[in-house]
Amino acid sequence: MIAPVATLVFLATLWLLVVVGAAVLEESGARIAAALKGKPAVQPKLQLPRQRVRVRSGSRSVMPAAPRWRVAA
């Protein structure tokens, strides 16, 4: 009696793996294919509305830039 139950559990687990694998391929399949071909994946550019940023003069701290920071930037 345990064999049919074990078979059903095995088949349900297999089905779940297939469903999860299909969802992963649907979301990142293009990136995986581009990586296998050795090409950069083209990602859609996110268009954000431009907002003005206000900087308070009192909260602004000035740090001297070290030469290693200038090179890294």
Its pTM surpasses 0.75: no
41 within 8 A of 31, measured Cβ to Cβ: yes
Q: Is the pLDDT assigned to residue 14 strictly greater than 70?
A: yes
**pLDDT higher for 55 or 1?**
1
pLDDT class of 46 with cuts at 50, 70, 90: low
pLDDT class of 43 with cuts at 50, 70, 90: low
Q: Is the pLDDT assigned to residue 3 strictly greater than 60?
A: yes
